[in-house]
Amino acid sequence: MDHFFQAIKQVGMDWCPGIKEEQNSYRSELAGIDGGLSMIAVILKFFDITEGGIEIALDGDSALNSAKASREFLNSFQSSYDLLQDIRNRLTAIPEGIKIKWRWVKLHQDDKGYNKLDWWAKSNIKADKIAKEFCRKCIRNNRIHKPVQLWYEHFAIRVNGIKESKLNKKNLYSASQKDNILNYWRNHHDFAIANTEDIDWESFRLANARLPLGLQRWLVKFATGFIGNRHKLNQRREFPTSKCPNCDHPIEKSSHVLQCKNSQALLELDKNVLKVKEKLSEMKTLPILQDAIIEILKNWKHGKTIRPSKFSRTAGLRDAVTHQSRLGWHNFFLGHWSKLWQQVRKNHLQEIKTRLSRSRWTVSIINKIMHLTYEI
Ligand SMILES: [Zn+2]
């Protein structure tokens, strides 16, 4: 029997399951372990083997540690929860008489001289080469990345029909609430956003996440109108009038607060505009874009009309101003920016041939303007 097994050499290759975005070397190593275990399961079943030993070797230590940690609870939020669940259940299904041993093989030992290496190291190099060739072939053939529910994956969550590799709160929340939230903003009484798909929500999210928690809460209350302004207080019959306490405006909604001519607010604006200006300069912003943003912040606060035709067409600046005018300048103050601002940055960076990030710019400037909104 021993002689017979020595003669068996099985080489298996598997295309790692899951969507393209979640592929990484950790997941590939786990897919290798899982594929190996599925081959072992077939061999054990076919030959009815119930005793003996299995040694699983790989060079990825984090995948190895996750796979062999059979006594630890799996967390459904942990990376590659699906593969780990399948691995765990496959290991449990192996007959008790078969002992499993794990071996970590040091990566890239071939630079020491291939012939000096032991069998494990040589096999690791061979496996690595086969895997790379297989991967290249799959890429050449445009093989798609496909999330599948694994054999021993007892339950799986699908979001919009796509199986998740782990529980992802953001995806779940987005799938269940996105339409409700966008509809809320489309029909908002004060800060309506007609074309919600035109907003650079990702930059807004990141800029908002950088705010202190208290300021994040304040911004939500302010934007929704559920804050102690006179409009809301009057609506709740907690105050006799909705009139602005600082000027003669008849309804003090949040949008009015942004444009109230109260002298203290105007002073705060001047102070905070300087901080935005510093940030724009620090981020190496195209000078005409710097000037445009500062001019818009000041003029809009002073109740002046923003005329897109006054702005240069360079780098698509006028398109961004026109687009934001349609979305509303109050939205600009709240961080709901047109996607075209990022395009202006991109055009400028291409022009000056630099590798600076365009998204970091948008996030930093939106963040600064959110601070400014809070101060005024
Ligand atoms: Zn006012």
Q: What is the CATH number of the domain that holds 45?
A: 3.30.420
Element (H, E) at 103: strand 98-104
Please list the helix, strand and coil fractions of the chain in percent, rounded to the nearest 5, in that order. Answer: 60, 5, 35
Protein residues with C-beta less than 5 angstroms from the ion ligand 1: 244, 246-247, 249, 260
For residue 196, report the distance from its CA to the centre of ligand 1, in Å.
28
Q: Would 49 be classed as within a structural domain?
A: yes
Region of 229 please: left (phi>0), alpha (psi -120 to 50) or beta.
beta
Do residues 281 and 240 lie in contact, with contact meaning Cβ atoms separated by under 8 Å? no
> Separation of 320 CA from ligand 1 center, angstroms?
29
Give the chain's domain count.
Answer: 2
Domain endpoint, select from 77, 108, 140? 140
Q: Are residues 244 and 361 in the same domain?
A: yes
Asked whether residue 169 is domain-assigned, the answer is no
Q: Do 335 and 224 belong together in one domain?
A: yes
Side chain identity at residue 199, one-letter code: I
Dist. CA 276–CA 368, nearest whole Å? 6
- Domain annotation covers residue 162: no
Per-residue pLDDT of the chain (376 residues; tens, 9 = 90+): 455 555 578 888 999 999 999 999 999 999 999 999 999 999 999 999 999 999 999 999 899 999 987 777 889 999 999 999 999 999 999 999 999 999 999 876 666 788 888 899 989 999 999 999 999 999 999 999 999 999 999 888 899 889 999 999 988 998 999 999 999 999 999 999 988 899 999 999 999 999 999 999 999 999 999 988 899 999 999 999 999 988 889 999 999 998 888 777 788 888 889 999 999 999 889 999 999 999 999 999 888 899 999 999 999 999 999 999 999 999 999 999 999 999 999 998 888 887 777 779 999 999 999 999 988 8
In a domain, 149, yes or no: no
Q: Name residues whose C-beta falls within 8 Å of residue 276's C-beta, 6 or more positions apart in sequence.
A: 293, 294, 297, 365, 368, 369, 372
Domain contains 94: yes
Cα-to-centroid distance, 181 and ligand 1 (Å): 29
Query: Could you tell me if 109 and 236 lie in one domain?
Result: no
Q: What is the pLDDT of residue 200?
A: 95
CA of 243 to the centre of ligand 1 (A): 8
Cα distance between residue 6 and residue 274, in whole Å:
76
Q: Are 113 and 198 members of one domain?
A: no
- Domain for residue 150, yes or no? no
93 and 205 co-located in one domain: no
Domain that holds residue 126: 2-140
Tokens of 162: 């796509």
- pLDDT of 4 reads 52
Same domain, 232 and 347: yes
